[in-house]
Amino acid sequence: GAVVSQHPSRVICKSGTSVKIECRSLDFQATTMFWYRQFPKQSLMLMATSNEGSKATYEQGVEKDKFLINHASLTLSTLTVTSAHPEDSSFYICSAVGVAGGPSYEQYFGPGTRLTVT
Amino acid sequence: SQQGEEDPQALSIQEGENATMNCSYKTSINNLQWYRQNSGRGLVHLILIRSNEREKHSGRLRVTLDTSKKSSSLLITASRAADTASYFCATDSGGSYIPTFGRGTSLIVHP
């Protein structure tokens, strides 16, 4: 089956620094990748939709200058949390949709990245 | 905003028992999907059911969809301790095929 990886799995950073999270589709090409944020015991909240070669589409309330998304290739999207604050601490999950995806496509999720900002 | 809402929020059962989780949603949907998430991990896709389908099976999983009541249920038969996880329903509607997730049901299966 399709595999999506995320790196790193856990990261601790100091307040004010920036952190980059990578999302890779390992055995398929992903035209679209999604970035979600999940707080403990809460649902997944869609942050942005990332399309290869174009600007990401951000959901309402998500600061695009704070959460920089780059989808430079069909197998890699990155999320950079800039000037991180403790309230950015969360579980970040990406998902990818394959090139052959169409209506009713299935998303393949990465294992998530636990970000802790001290 | 969230579309699906799972019920109950938490469920604790003994191994061998059946577990039933429900999902209600507000607007007409194209598809409804159920996902599983182990603690601190990503999501695993379980089943997708389309709006014109009423029931689907996959191994010990049975999903039903009642569009008139805007609800779906996930039944796990003969539960195992390894089924302990959070289960989410996700719906997509209109012209968007991006699923919206509910808050999930936390299932604990005691050995």
* Tens-digit pLDDT profile for residues A35-83: 999 988 788 999 999 888 888 999 999 999 999 999 888 899 999 999 9
Whole-angstrom distance, CA of residue A41 vs CA of residue A43: 7
CA distance B87 to chain A (A): 10
Q: Is the N-terminal amide bond of A86 cis, ω within 30° of 0?
A: no
**Segment among A28-32, A36-40, B28-32 with least mean pLDDT:** A28-32
CA distance B105 to chain A (A): 9
Highest mean pLDDT among A39-43, A95-99, B80-84: B80-84
> How many residues are listed for chain A in this entry?
118
Count Cβ atoms below 10 Å from residue B27 Cβ, excluding itself: 10
> Do the chains contact at A43 and B40, CB–CB below 8 Å?
no
Nearest by CB: A104 against B40, B50, B104: B50
What percent of chain A shows pLDDT beyond 70?
A: 92
Q: Which two tokens stand for residue A92?
A: 């970040």
pLDDT value at residue A102: 46
CA angle (B56, A38, B41) in 5-degree steps = 65
Residues of chain A in contact with residue B101, where contact means CB-CB under 8 angstroms, are 43-45
